[in-house]
Every structure is written in structure tokens, then in C-alpha cells.
Chains A and B, each alone.
Chain A
């Protein structure tokens, strides 16, 4: 299981459902256990990314915010 980020998805500036669509696309080419980083500015992502993780069964490892920039670490199931 990787502890370093394998793919970064930069969805900054995109609104719902852009960040999740970009994340889902990146996830297709990732392997199980890969750690993906999602960067977003959509404030809706604060609730949407955890919901997405719950529905999709992938693990939200970390969520952080800095000056309106959101960063999420997701581990592919």
C-alpha cells in the first residue's frame, strides 16, 4: 500500500460535479491501494468528497483546507 501520492488531480476552479468526475476518471487508471490527491476550490467539496467516499467505498484518508484551497487524500479501494 502506497504512502506517497501516486496521482494528483487538480480540479481547482471547477464546480460540482467537476472535481468528483475528474477524481473518478483518475481513479480508473489507478491501482487498488494507490493514494490520490485531489485539489479543489469548490466549497461544496467539503461535504461532497466524504459523501463520494462513502458511496464509492474508497477511503478518504485526509481532508485539509488552506486559504480556500481544499486538499483531499483518497486511497483507492
Chain B
């Protein structure tokens, strides 16, 4: 029994591969149908919106790209976009720097406190944005304008807003690896704590860190209520204002930020892949 469960070549014998092969054919068709249904659910609404932005519901002219090409020239488009991108970058950085070591430490040394931290991390999600924004205004009234009147307060608060799924993501990732073993191994080999964290733990929870970062960035790029109530200018605020006068501009801006964020994140994940991809693809197909 022991031999079969271990990572020994016995598992890969043709005897076990046989029944597996015929069983896999049916699920493959089911999987394709499932993916198709999901693709339809997610892409058809986007198609309908893009059709609208191309002038699909205008009465006096046919489809046109004018809204898209004119978007960049809309007053305030580039400045607000840049502001939001910077906020997103700052949020992700601060979030990961704060949470990855904290979560690792939590799993390592304080596992009984996990539920407590989880509850705390879930709190931001329970409070609607309007209420949080008023809370922020009330709590930080006496803070300097340079923080509360600038993007800094947004970065600081978006990190809080991102806590729920960051916790969930990192928790899942850290639970799935033999953390204590790896850390003790690294430490016993003489690695310092930061080295252990950066070179042992993080590469093994890459998916989790990437997930957390992606959601943090998406949150920062799309958050509206808090920025609105604090009277700050970010891209979603600009989109809403522009949309009051022109529905096509609003929808175009929303679609643009959607595609832009997706492209940006694909780029980031490509870079991350390039770095680690060389290291161990072979080792995954362990024999």
C-alpha cells in the first residue's frame, strides 16, 4: 500500500492508465459544453455593450468607432487613468508586503489564531462602501490633508477592502503546501527569515499571490463609492461623470478599463511565468 501512494514509477504503469483513458473521453465533451455555456454567459453581455458603444443604437448613423477613438481626447481621461493605475500599483504592493509575511507567520506559528484573523479580514466585506466611507471621514478628520485629501488614503483603504479575498487566497495556498517542513528545512540549511520567505515560501504559493494581486488591482481600478465620497478623482469617478452627459462614453470607458485591466494583468502574469517557468516544469511531471 505504501508503495502505491508514494511518488514512485509504479503509479504511471499502463495498467492504471488504461481505465483512465476511456473514462476521460466522456467528461471531455461535457467539459467543452460547460465551458461553452460559461463563455456565452460572460461574453454575450460584453458583446451587447460593445455594440452599443459602436453606435449600435443610434438612429441617425451606422456603426462607428468615433466614441472609442475620441475617448483618449476626452478631458480628464488620461490624467484620471494614470491616477487609478498608480493607486492600483500602490495597493497591490502594500497589500502583498503586508499580507504575505503575516499569513505565512500565521500558518507557521499561530495556527490557532487563523479563524480570528479570518473573521477580521472578512469584516470589510460586511460593511457597505457608503458606511465605510463615512467612517473614514469621521475617523481621520484630524489627519493631514496630504494623506486624506490625496490618493494615499485610497491606497491605504483599498488594502483593507482587499483583505477578504487576499486572506482566502493566501490561506488556501499556504494550506496546500508543507509550510512548516519547508521552512524548517530552509532554516536548518542556514537561510535567514527573509530569504526563506522570498525564495522558499513565495515561489510555492505563486498562484495565491497572483490571485490576491490580481483582485487587489481590479478592486483599485474599479472602486467608486469611497473615492466619490472622499471627493477624490479616479478613473471610475471620471467615467461616471462623463457618463452623465453621454451614455456611450460611459459604457466605452467601462469596457476600456475592463479590457485594459485584463491586458495589464495578462502582461504581469506573463512576466511572472517567464521568471519561474524555466525552473521546474519538468519536476512537476514527477516520476
Do A and B truly interact?
Answer: no
